[in-house]
Amino acid sequence: MFILKHKSLITAIGGILIVSAFIIKWTTGDETLFAWLMATASVSGVLPIAIQAYQALRVKVVSIDVLVTMAVIGAFVIRNFEESAIVTFLFLFGAYLEQRTLSKTRSAIKELTEMAPESALKQMDDGDFVEVDVDEVDVGDILLVKTGAKVPVDGTVISGEGSVNESAVTGESIPVAKEKGSKVFAGTILDNGTIQIVAERVGEDTTYGKIIELVEEAQDSKSAAERFIDRFSKYYTPTVLVLALTIWLIRRDIELAITILVLGCPGALVIGVPVSNVAGIGNGARNGVLLKGSEVIRELSRLDTIVFDKTGTLTAGKPSVAEKLYYGSYTSEALEYLASVERESDHPLAKAVLDEIGERAVYPVEGTEVIKGEGIIAYVRGRRVVVGNIALMEREQVLLNDAVRADATRLEGNGNSLVFTAVDGELMILMGIRDQIRPGVKEGLSRLRKLGIKNLIMLSGDNQGTVDIVSRELGLTEAHGNMLPEDKSAYIKKLIDEGRIVAFVGDGVNDSPSLALANIGIAMGGGTDVAIETSDVVLMNSDFGRLPHALGLAKATTRNMMQNIVIAVGVVLMLMAGLIFSEWVNMSIGMLVHEGSILAVILNGMRLLRYRLR
């Protein structure tokens, strides 16, 4: 409808008429022209409000617009044109400010949508790359991405290399190096280099598309508090209407009755809770934390117990060298021999050793003999190289003195698997390899404790000895090993039955039952489909440091929501008390304070967009 589409213009016209009326009154004293201008401002201003009131009544809802429309009509009847004009202007101007500020709280999803790629360089049948709309890209197409361009789809690099800014997906601004075989995500930006990728997921199926869909759904969801306020408003508004009518019937004071209609508008109460939730979800989206709706925020803020999967959550998920000791006199050569031998092996520990050694000269390996469960014996440049555990060293009669055995005992006590290297019967190197604690986990757990988490529990399929070592290092409340996925979910159920509010943090794959069963499922997702679909909260770049931010943000959002409720209810009570017990409250002042309270709760909610965990 024309009138509703041009509410902002009508608001501006009303403001100009009111200002003009006061200028004429103060300069010329012309009361007649003053009254005409105010009446015109009243009529023009009440039209969009009355239309919205009619639309609400058609669906049997007594909205705020109904109260304001009746108040303005009443003021007009008693020829209080000044009050009616000011009330309509303040109401429309407040709605304008509300819409403007609310749009800012939704800026996170707006930014996500604007950052979505629109075109791609697609390889055609003749081998040339042609720019096409991103909707024309199909799974299996080969695409070229140049420096500064957005990656158009999810896929795998098949040639080239470069650094990709993945902040749109993970919230982490540090560029990630990509080479052949690396995964890339739609919406990320190639900071430097040139790569070719094969499309694996396109359109809404990409990780970026799922993120946009998830944030949109979350921002549109309603919490229990919002649903209560909706029900409250449904009955509250008619109650105010009946109260005003009763006052008029008893005291025959129509101005007092009209003022009650204006003061009773619950606008700030209706808008205060949603704006807090929307701003909180928006902050999370900007920081790589996806919160699946307002109800998730409420539950997350109430947590007292967090249960962690070990591998891939508290630990890195792959073995690496934690400690290394050198015993021989020619260490550099020994490392070259070790690298040469380990290149021949596909054992997980071999890869950890090679990652630790790095780039070194390697030589041909001859006479390789694999001793099952113990290690490898081979010849490198005519020298006999033995790589394996302590049993292999003893079988090969390698001298292990008391100092070496003490080192081995200490490393094993720290949860390491031992890899000895001997050359021509002389021990040269001892490496301790284990799945190490993820960077930032200790600091993150400390922050969780400060945020009020009483129980930090680890569940793992590893043996109890390994689990106990990790638990001691991290200072966890409990740690249980030898647990299958069904054992973990049974343990979660036991905690919930005990009355605890439980979150489970896992990798979103084999821990899906526990993620679904816990009050809050938190996935160290890295953008995987299973993580996004199974859990309530997704830490998009699998950064453990995002978990304290998510918890702190949920608590801040819940506090902010309660603050807005207090502001809204407090203002209505203050105005009603002022109306009953003093003479300073009238219709215009009431509407001004009322609209100010709406703006106050919106601005208070917007503070969450800048939230950072201290």
- What positions carry a catalytic annotation? 309
- Placement of tokens 């795998």 in the chain: 156
Closest CA to 121 of 103, 143, 150, 100: 143
Q: What is the DSSP string of 95-156?
A: HHHHHHHHHHHTHHHHHHHHHS--EEEEE-TTS-EEEEEGGG--TT-EEEE-TTPBP-SEEE
Question: Do 33 and 24 meet the contact criterion of CB atoms below 8 Å apart?
Answer: yes
Contacts of 274 (CB under 8 A, 6+ apart): 222, 226, 294
What span, in angstroms and rounded, lies between the C-alpha atoms of 32 and 585?
Answer: 26
Question: Helical H runs in 253-330?
Answer: 254-263, 267-286, 294-301
Crossing angle for the helix pair 64-77 and 81-105, to the nearest 10 degrees: 160
The residue whose two tokens read 């219709």 is: 587
- Nearest partner of 313 among 479, 171, 174, 186, judged by Cα: 479
Residue 268 and residue 569 in contact, taking contact as beta carbons nearer than 8 Å: no
List, in sequence order, every beta strand (DSSP E) within 202-314: 289-291, 305-309
CA-closest candidate to residue 537, choices 208, 337, 301: 301
The helix (H) or strand (E) run that includes residue 256 is helix 254-263
Cβ-in-10-Å burial (0-12, 13-18, 19+) of 510 comes to: middle
Within a 13 Å sphere around the CA of 295, how many CA atoms are in the beta-carbon half? 11
| Cα gap 82→52, rounded to integer Å | 23
Give dist(CA 28, CA 293) in Å, integer: 58
Longest dimension (CA), the chain: 116
Q: For residue 205, what is the DSSP state?
A: G
User: Looking at the chain, how many residues does it have?
Assistant: 614
Asked whether the beta carbons of 536 and 292 are under 8 A apart, the reply is yes
Structure tokens at 266: 């619950």
Q: Give the span between the Cα atoms of 587 and 589, in whole angstroms.
A: 6
CA angle 280, 567, 63 (to 5 degrees): 90
List C-alpha distances in Å: 486 to 315, 461, 512: 21, 11, 10
Helix, strand and coil in the chain, % to nearest 5: 55, 20, 25
